[in-house]
């Protein structure tokens, strides 16, 4: 058996083990218990008909007394699911040897196990390794791997005052997004698929229909997959035919189906003229992760380069942010200097360029020393890299907004990601995906591209076909007036240069 990277995964909490978990958490209620029992019945799978969801994650073992009952109780569900083409992954939460649980999963016909502790794993079943995202074990990541401790995408509830979004450090409403981590995973675990494990926030009523669709889009637009997870209210309401719950579910499935219809976008490469270089590990992990997150929030389009890999040909790059405290190796040093001498900008915490170069005058708001080397510059932070917010802002300004690939207008709750068939900005199909992180539709959002194109194909959830969206010149690029944006849209363009 092999894992299938095209699986669309969903958590399917049910049965005795989940009921025991909820009892321990003190969150059990008669209604919830009934729901957890109901979802263990084969009839619950009716919900999945006509949806792209084809892989269910079921609680399988945690070393407690309910393991056996759980595995027994799931048999009818597993059998019925396999009958309609579903795959099942056993979630095993054991601190010790998981061998017996894995064997039981294999015997029960499950396709894979999801497990954090890999000790005692045999090759009986493929494993989906799971780890907290700040302890990412990139080297041992399985073909599909999963990260926990993610955020629920959307406006940060702690920065809300009633219906009003309060400003974050950037002066615009702070939004939670896993985008940066998804992009990082793609670079640090190339060729593998990241499943993001996060649950809806506790809610006293059904979440807004846009909330689940956004959770799907925030993952898929950045080349990861969310393990779909419903809140208790929604799971209770769906089998009862609740109309509102059905609407939420349909929106969720519509968004998941959309991305399945555009799988080819998963192969697109992030575009940007700025490269972020780090090992993204150990002492460098916090700063590098925060800088990625904050640059993303500024709509800066970047490429991530893991330091251990040979720096790729710097074609198309205008700037490199060297985030790590460690100075470059001799080979890296030579590559970086070549880049600078040819006109590039390297931003670093310490100067390691050609000796005897005196720094030049700079803007007083940027606390950097600028060294002209060849045709380019090395910008050195006077106080090193300390505050990630400052590093992200300074980097954006040092590179200059003149080099922005895209800009959003009326963007307060929106963000975007630019990718293409090639890292080159001018080859093949290109894609800009725009997301709205508010439950309210974003109105009058303008998307500006730093190149001239006549039109783009506008893709939206629920529309089988793209429609043509005309651009209008906005020197030196093109402005697109986006329709009201509930959650997501994508602009695809190629061969339409003016």
Partner 1 sequence: MGAMGAAAGAWLARPMMSLARAVPAGRVAVGVCHEYGADVTGTLAKMFDQLGGLEGLVRGKTVAVKLNLTGDATDRLGYLPAEITHWVHPQVIGATVQLLGQAGAQRIRLLESPMSTSEPLEEFMLQANWEPHDFASAAPRVEFENTNYLGYGKTYSRFWVPDGGLMFKGYDLNHSYEDCDVFVSLAKLKEHVTAGVTLSMKNCFGITPCTIYGDDSPVDEPSLAPRGGRGPFHEGNRPPSKSAPPAVNGQASKDPGYRVPRVVADLVASRPVHLAVIDGIHSMAGGEGPWCDKVRHVQPGLLVAGTNCVATDAVCTALMGFDPMADRGTPPFETCDSTLRLAEQLGVGTRDLSQIEVLGTPIAEARFNFRQS
Where along the sequence are the contacts to partner 1 (CB under 8 A)?
171-172, 363-366, 393, 397, 400-402, 404, 407-411, 444, 446, 448, 474-477, 479, 481
Residue 442 is classified by DSSP as: B
Minimum gap (Å) between residue 479 Cβ and partner 1: 8
Give the nearer residue to partner 1 in terms of CB position, either 151 or 366: 366
Shortest spacing between CB 486 and partner 1, in angstroms? 18
**Of residues 272 and 477, the one with the C-beta less far from partner 1:** 477
Of 124 and 412, CB closest to partner 1 = 412
393/453 with CB nearer partner 1: 393
- In residues, how long is the chain? 498
Nearer to partner 1, 241 or 364 (CB): 364
Q: Give me the least distance between CB of 275 and partner 1, in Å please.
A: 21
Cα gap 97→367, rounded to integer Å: 53
- Closest approach, Cβ 396 to partner 1, in A, equals 8
What is the smallest separation between the CB atom of 392 and partner 1, expressed in angstroms? 13
* Cis check: omega of the bond before 476, within 30 degrees of 0: yes
Beta bridge partners of 55: 9, 87
Sign of the CA dihedral running 60, 61, 64, 67: positive
Minimum separation from the CB atom of position 444 to partner 1 (A): 5
Nearer to partner 1, 123 or 365 (CB): 365
| Smallest separation, CB 489 to partner 1 (Å) | 15
The least distance separating partner 1 from the CB of residue 477, rounded to whole angstroms, comes to 8
Neighbours of 192 (CB within 10 A): 16
- Beta-carbon contacts of 296 under 8 Å, excluding residues fewer than 6 positions away, are 177, 179, 180, 183, 302, 415
Shortest spacing between CB 362 and partner 1, in angstroms:
10
Smallest separation (angstroms) from partner 1 to the CB of 476: 8
Q: How far is the CB of 407 from partner 1 (least distance, A)?
A: 7
Q: Shortest distance, CB of residue 162 to partner 1, whole angstroms?
A: 17
Residue 107 vs 397, nearer CB to partner 1: 397
Q: How far is the CB of 480 from partner 1 (least distance, A)?
A: 9
Identify which of residues 167 and 463 has a Cβ nearer to partner 1 in the complex. Answer: 167
Of the candidates 415, 406, 414, the residue with the CA atom closest to the CA atom of residue 479: 406
For partner 1, give the closer residue by CB, 151 or 474. Answer: 474
> What is the C-alpha to C-alpha distance for residues 323 and 293, in angstroms, rounded to an integer?
14
CB contact at 8 A, 207 and 239? no
Q: Which is nearer to partner 1, 199 or 412 (CB)?
A: 412
> Which is nearer to partner 1, 46 or 363 (by Cβ)?
363
Q: Which residue lies nearer to partner 1 by CB, 2 or 164?
A: 164
Q: Quick one: 28 or 455, whose CB is closer to partner 1?
A: 455
């Amino acid at each position: 058996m092999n894992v299938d990277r095209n699986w669309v995964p969903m958590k399917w909490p049910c049965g005795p083990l989940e009921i025991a978990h909820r009892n321990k958490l003190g969150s059990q209620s008669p209604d919830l218990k009934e729901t957890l029992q109901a979802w263990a019945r084969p009839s619950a799978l009716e919900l999945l008909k006509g949806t792209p969801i084809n892989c269910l994650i079921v609680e399988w073992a945690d070393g407690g007394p309910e393991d056996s009952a759980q595995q027994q109780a799931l048999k009818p569900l597993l059998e019925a699911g396999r009958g309609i083409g579903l795959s099942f992954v056993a979630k095993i939460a054991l601190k010790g040897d998981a061998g017996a649980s894995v064997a039981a999963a294999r015997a029960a016909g499950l396709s894979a196990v999801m497990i954090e502790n890999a000790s005692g794993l045999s090759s009986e079943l493929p494993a989906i390794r799971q780890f907290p995202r700040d302890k990412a074990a990139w080297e041992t990541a399985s073909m599909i791997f999963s990260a926990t401790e993610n955020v629920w995408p959307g406006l940060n509830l702690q920065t809300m005052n009633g219906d009003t979004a309060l400003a974050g450090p950037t002066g615009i409403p702070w939004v939670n997004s896993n985008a940066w981590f998804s992009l990082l995973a793609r670079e640090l675990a190339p060729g593998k698929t990241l499943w993001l494990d996060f649950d809806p926030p506790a809610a006293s009523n059904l979440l807004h229909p846009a909330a689940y669709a956004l959770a799907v889009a925030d993952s898929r637009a950045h080349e990861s997959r969310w393990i779909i997870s419903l809140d208790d209210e929604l799971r209770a309401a769906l089998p009862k035919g609740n109309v509102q719950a059905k609407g939420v579910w349909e929106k969720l499935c519509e968004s998941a189906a959309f991305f399945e219809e555009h799988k080819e976008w998963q192969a697109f490469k992030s575009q940007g003229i700025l490269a972020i270089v780090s090992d993204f590990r150990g002492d460098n992990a916090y700063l590098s992760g925060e800088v990625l997150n904050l640059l993303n929030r500024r709509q800066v389009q970047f490429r991530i380069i893991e330091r251990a890999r040979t720096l790729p040909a710097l074609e198309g790059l205008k700037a490199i942010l060297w985030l790590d405290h460690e100075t470059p190796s001799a080979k890296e040093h030579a590559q970086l200097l070549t880049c600078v001498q040819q006109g590039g900008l390297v931003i670093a915490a310490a100067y390691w360029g050609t000796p005897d170069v005196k720094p030049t005058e700079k803007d007083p708001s940027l606390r950097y020393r600028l060294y002209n080397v060849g045709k380019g510059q090395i910008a050195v932070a006077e106080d090193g890299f300390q505050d990630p917010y400052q590093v992200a802002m300074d980097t954006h300004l040092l590179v200059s907004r003149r080099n922005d690939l895209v800009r959003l207008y009326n963007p307060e709750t929106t963000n975007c990601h630019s990718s293409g068939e090639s890292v080159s900005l001018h080859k093949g199909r290109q894609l800009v995906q725009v997301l709205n992180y508010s439950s309210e539709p974003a109105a009058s959002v303008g998307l500006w591209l730093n190149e001239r194109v006549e039109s783009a194909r506008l893709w939206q959830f629920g529309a089988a076909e793209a429609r043509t969206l005309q651009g209008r010149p906005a020197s030196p690029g093109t402005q697109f007036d986006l329709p009201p944006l509930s959650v997501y849209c994508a602009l695809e363009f190629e061969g339409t240069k003016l």
